[in-house]
């Protein structure tokens, strides 16, 4: 099992690679017809694809795609879901009932299938993938924020602030949302891994990143046609996807253990 400390460095390497790949002049469309389907060698550790393009260059470019989609989707979903869930639980009554029913409707459909349907309606492209995944992703944050708000909105300092005439928006922003930071941060960490998988899945189906841009999902899709003669076209992006997802999930576990007060007290007791 991968050590959790290693997972932190791998996630940082993923982020650094994504940023650096945008400043390095990667030629992901250059075709060398003499090297079509050539496997890894000393000159190119990751080999070439069916058009003679460098798999390494396309893998690095796909790193940026997965990173920007994941961060953008999680940011939009986190802000939207937190505001909706917190405001719903704080207001209560009919507003809360309507929001809960909307959340139930979204949860009635498998998230990835709903994202596929939305991406299919809007068309392929990174922007539409971000929109589709954001429409699906806010629900989990809203449900978590609502549940946490219901458990804290009757605490003494919030009741006192309300009694002193503090505005509802100020109470939500200054008193309630800061208390939800820990569970929402942990949820966001695991959400990043889910978004990366979803983006790769949509690109694999042809609903995500379009050529000539690179995505790990589209690289795997293109490589499936040559599994017997050039397995590196599937194994390399597949391994990159697996390592990043595993690292982010382990990072989420480590973050959860670190921020869990009960877990810390248990360790001190031992």
**Tens digits of residue pLDDT in 108-129:** 888 888 888 888 888 878 888 9
Q: How many residues does the chain have?
A: 270
Contact status, residue 37 vs residue 50, Cβ threshold 8 Å: yes
265 pLDDT higher than 50: no
Confidence bin at 244 (pLDDT 50/70/90): very high
The structure tokens listed for 59 are 């893998």
The per-residue pLDDT for 258 is 76
Domain chopping of the chain, boundaries: 4-24+44-269
* Choice among 40-44, 99-103, 193-197 with the minimum mean pLDDT: 40-44
Which of 100, 128, 127 shows the shortest CA–CA distance to 116? 128
CATH code at 4-24+44-269: 1.10.3720.10
Q: Which residues contact 261 (CB under 8 A, 6 or more apart)?
A: none
What is the Rg, in whole angstroms, of the alpha carbon atoms belonging to the chain?
22
């Amino acid at each position: 099992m991968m050590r959790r400390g290693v997972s932190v460095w791998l996630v940082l390497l993923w982020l650094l690679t994504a940023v650096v790949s945008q400043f390095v002049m990667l030629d992901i469309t250059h075709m060398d017809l003499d090297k079509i389907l050539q496997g890894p060698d000393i000159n190119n550790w990751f080999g070439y694809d069916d058009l003679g393009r460098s798999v390494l260059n396309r893998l690095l470019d796909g790193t940026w795609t997965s990173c920007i989609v994941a961060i953008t989707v999680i940011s939009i979903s986190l802000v939207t879901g937190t505001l909706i869930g917190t405001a719903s639980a704080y207001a209560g009554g009919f507003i809360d009932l309507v929001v809960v029913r909307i959340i139930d409707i979204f949860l009635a459909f498998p998230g990835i299938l709903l994202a596929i349907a939305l991406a299919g309606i809007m068309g392929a492209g990174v922007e539409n993938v971000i929109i589709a995944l954001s429409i699906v992703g806010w629900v989990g944050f809203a449900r978590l924020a609502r549940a946490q708000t219901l458990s804290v909105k009757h605490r003494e300092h919030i009741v006192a602030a309300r009694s002193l005439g503090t505005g509802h928006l100020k109470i939500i922003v200054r008193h309630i949302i800061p208390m939800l930071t820990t569970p929402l941060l942990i949820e966001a960490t695991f959400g990043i891994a889910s978004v990366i998988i979803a983006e790769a899945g949509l690109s694999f189906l042809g609903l995500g990143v379009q050529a000539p841009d690179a995505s790990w999902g589209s690289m795997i899709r293109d490589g499936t046609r040559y599994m017997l003669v050039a397995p590196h076209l599937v194994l390399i992006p597949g391994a990159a996807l697996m390592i990043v997802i595993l690292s982010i999930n382990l990072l989420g576990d480590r973050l959860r253990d670190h921020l869990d007060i009960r877990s810390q007290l248990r360790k001190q007791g031992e």
